[in-house]
Every structure is written in structure tokens, then in C-alpha cells.
Amino acid sequence: MPSVAFLPLDTRTLRLRGLQFVPGLAAFFVLAGILTGCGAVGDPVARHPVTPQRVTDLAAKQLGDAVVLTFALPTNSTDQDPLPAMPSVEIFRTGPAAPGAAPPRPLPPALVATIPSDVVKTYLRDGRFEFSDPLDPAEIARAPGAQATYMVRTRVSQRRASADSNSVAVRVYPVPEAVHDLRATLTEQAISLAWTPPERTGAGAALPVAPAYRVYRAEIMPAAAAPAANPPEPQSRGPFQLLAPPPAAAEYSDSNFEFGHTYVYSVRSVAPAGTPGTIPDSIESADSNLFIVDAKDVFPPAMPQTVVAVLVPATGASPAYVDITWAINAEADLAGYAVYRSEQPDSPGERITPSPLPIPAFRDMSVTPSRRYFYRVTALDTAGNESAPSDVVTVDVP
């Protein structure tokens, strides 16, 4: 801070300007003005704490015995500047309150969860923040249709949170318990799913009718695939898509798949629409166990049929040879055929075609006189699977 020098005041100037001179007060104002300008050198101090913009797209839906909230995290402050860091999230809830029950006075929202900024990224799903608020199944069962109201705030400073978000209300109902034994079998035509139908709600009450089902599927990168007992982390899977048509029983056949891809499946149950005394058909149970299917093509083509081998005798300078033909295979992923030759009837022999044959025919120019040959043909697909060998055909070379 620079040194301070007090200068004498011209009292006549003060009087000419209509001011009454008060020596002590004048010295105070001069000193105060000097001290005000003596600040530490450094970054300018913000006029007020950085405050995130208000969340305006909060949405809520019941999923199982929980309410799932989603919204877009703010990226700018109320000053229209980018936020300096990821904001933390505070979630507030009022209720659930029984239908038609009016409290004596409005209840203030209760803080049910605080998500620190350093873990907020783990709650992001497809660019939106997603949080599941578990509710007590017994409490839901006591008052079906009770209403819960939600609001959120965000903050990057402990000194000030954002303004309240839009408020959303959701009614909660008893729902079927989650399917726990989803399983799948891969066939050449489809991925067949099956599970045990749930019989009770999350609170343990018997379901009045058998539920309906919705099957969801997502595709995951092969590097993220894991055994069925070890489902992937939520961040590693793509968005789930609802498969149609919905199954009427506890099984589903997914024929719209491709070999070489990896899929993860989940099943949710819902009550049939319009069933008296049950949940609306828009409310689903929680996700079943996730089941991963690595749709690897391990299915060989059918073995070639109608194999015929004909000896063409030697003529002049041309040696004898054997022409082999067979019926065309119908597989869409057929890569070609292979021919095997042996001199023993019970031996598979050696492959005499280095690469797959694109047509159902082969000419064997390497036969030797006075030998008997046994030929077999196999089919190969693009995944490298090889069929069982065809029926053997025999040729005698004079």
C-alpha cells in the first residue's frame, strides 16, 4: 500500500460551494477514499457467486418401486457464462401423498439426495442426468395412486444454488416385482428369450392377473461384452429399444438380429390395460436381470447333397482325371466348398482344394493309375464354419 500524505483543506472553497467544513469528518472521507483504492493485486473478485441457470425440463416416471428423474444439466450461469465446473445436484421431493388427502398446510419439499459434482458424470445417460429415487413398496401399497412431487437445484458454489427447477408430479402404484431369471438361447434363426412370470408386487401382494411384458434390447460394443452373469456398466451400453410386437407369454423370439453383433436384453412387466384395481399400463416394473448374447455364428452349413464323381479316361497325351459335381447349397452366408480325397473308405482324407470353391464342381487332375479314390465334399460359410462331409463317392482309376 502506498504511503499516505494528508493535504490541508481550503475551508473557503468548501464554504463557497455551500459545504460546512468539519475537520474530523473531512479527514475521515479523505482517508476512506485512499484506503478503498488500496487492494491486493490479483484476479478481480466476482460481484456474486456463480449461479447455474435454472433446470426447466425435469421429467419423472415410475419404474418399479422407484421414480426415475431425468433432465439436462445446465452448462451456463445466470450471467450467460459457461460454468467453471460440473455442478452438483440437489433433489427435493414432497410426498407421496394419498389421493385426495390435503395436508393442513403445504409441506415443504424435503432434500432426498445430493449428488456431488465429482460423481455427476456417472449419472449421465445419453447426455441427460438420470436419477432413480427408491420408494417404500409397502407405503405405495397402502395408498395406490399417491402423488409425489419433485424439484431439483444445481450449484457450483456453496454460497448460492440455482433457482428451483420446474416441478413435476407423478402418481405411484404397486407394480409387479422384477423378472429375475431372464435367459436366452441363440439359434440360427433367432435369439430365444424366456423367463418366469412374476406373481407378486414389490410389497409381496399377489397379482390379480398375469402381467403383460415389454422386451428391450441394446447393442453393445464387443469390447464391452461380458459373460451373462456380469452385465456391463450402464455407461458401456447403448440406449435400449423396445422390441415389437410385445410378447403375450413369458417368452420372446428375436429374429431381427445379425451374427457378429453383441446384444443385451431386459424385460419389464406391466399390468394389462384397463384391468380394474391394478396399475396403469404405462407403468412398468423395474428391469429384469440383464442378459448378454454374443451372436457369434457357430452354425455350419448343411452338408452337400447329390455328390457325383465321374472318371474321364486318359486319351493320347491327356492323363485321366475325375470330375466331381454336387447340388448347390442354399445358405445366404455360403463361402464355398471343399473337396477331400482318401484312399481308405473309413478315412476323411486330405483336403485337395486350398481355397473354397465358388461353384459346385471340381476336376481332380492328380489321380494315379491303378488306384481307388474316395471323395467327400463339405460346405463352408463366411464365419469359417464347415459342414459335415457329404456321402462318400468312389472312383477306380484303371
- Topology of the domain comprising 59-172: Immunoglobulin-like (2.60.40)
Alpha-carbon distance 135 to 286, whole Å? 12
pLDDT computed for residue 100 by the predictor: 64
pLDDT computed for residue 7 by the predictor: 43
Return the C-alpha cell found at 358: 465358388
**CATH architecture observed for domain 183-295:** Sandwich (2.60)
pLDDT computed for residue 30 by the predictor: 43
C-alpha of 355 from chain center: 41
CA proximity to 150, closest of 197, 100, 91: 91
Is residue 380 a contact partner of residue 356, using CB atoms and an 8 Å limit? yes
Q: Which residues contact 390 (CB under 8 A, 6 or more apart)?
A: 303, 304, 305, 307, 326, 376, 377, 378
HEC-encoded secondary structure of 37-63? CCCCCCCCCCCCCCCECCCCCCEEEEE
Alpha-carbon distance 203 to 199, whole Å? 11
Classified as helix, coil or strand, 180 is coil
| Residue 114: CB atoms within 10 Å | 11
pLDDT computed for residue 44 by the predictor: 54
Alpha-carbon distance 192 to 200, whole Å? 25
Is residue 207 a contact partner of residue 201, using CB atoms and an 8 Å limit? yes
pLDDT computed for residue 191 by the predictor: 97
DSSP state at residue 117 = G
Classified as helix, coil or strand, 271 is coil
What CATH number has the domain spanning 308-397?
Answer: 2.60.40.10
Classified as helix, coil or strand, 77 is strand
Q: What is the DSSP string of 287-337?
A: ----EEEEE----PPPPP-S-EEEEE--BTTBPPEEEEE-PPP--TTEEEE
Ordered per-residue pLDDT tens for the chain, 398 residues: 444 444 444 444 444 344 444 455 444 444 445 444 444 455 555 568 999 999 999 999 999 999 999 999 999 999 999 999 999 999 999 989 877 666 556 678 999 999 999 999 999 988 899 999 999 999 998 888 899 999 999 999 999 999 999 999 999 999 899 999 999 999 999 999 999 999 999 899 998 888 889 999 999 876 544 555 555 444 445 689 999 888 989 999 999 999 999 999 999 998 765 555 566 777 899 999 999 999 999 999 999 999 999 999 999 888 999 999 999 999 999 999 999 999 999 999 999 999 999 999 999 999 999 999 999 999 999 999 999 999 999 999 99
Alpha-carbon distance 89 to 77, whole Å? 15
Q: What does each C-alpha distance from 273 to 43, 170, 277, 342, 358 come to in angstroms?
A: 63, 19, 11, 67, 55
Identify residue 155 by its one-letter amino acid code: R
Classified as helix, coil or strand, 220 is strand
DSSP helix, strand, coil percent of the chain (3-state; round to 5) = 10, 35, 55
Domain with CATH 2.60.40.10 in the chain: 59-172, 183-295, 308-397
Q: Are strands 334-342 and 321-325 parallel, antiparallel or unpaired?
A: unpaired
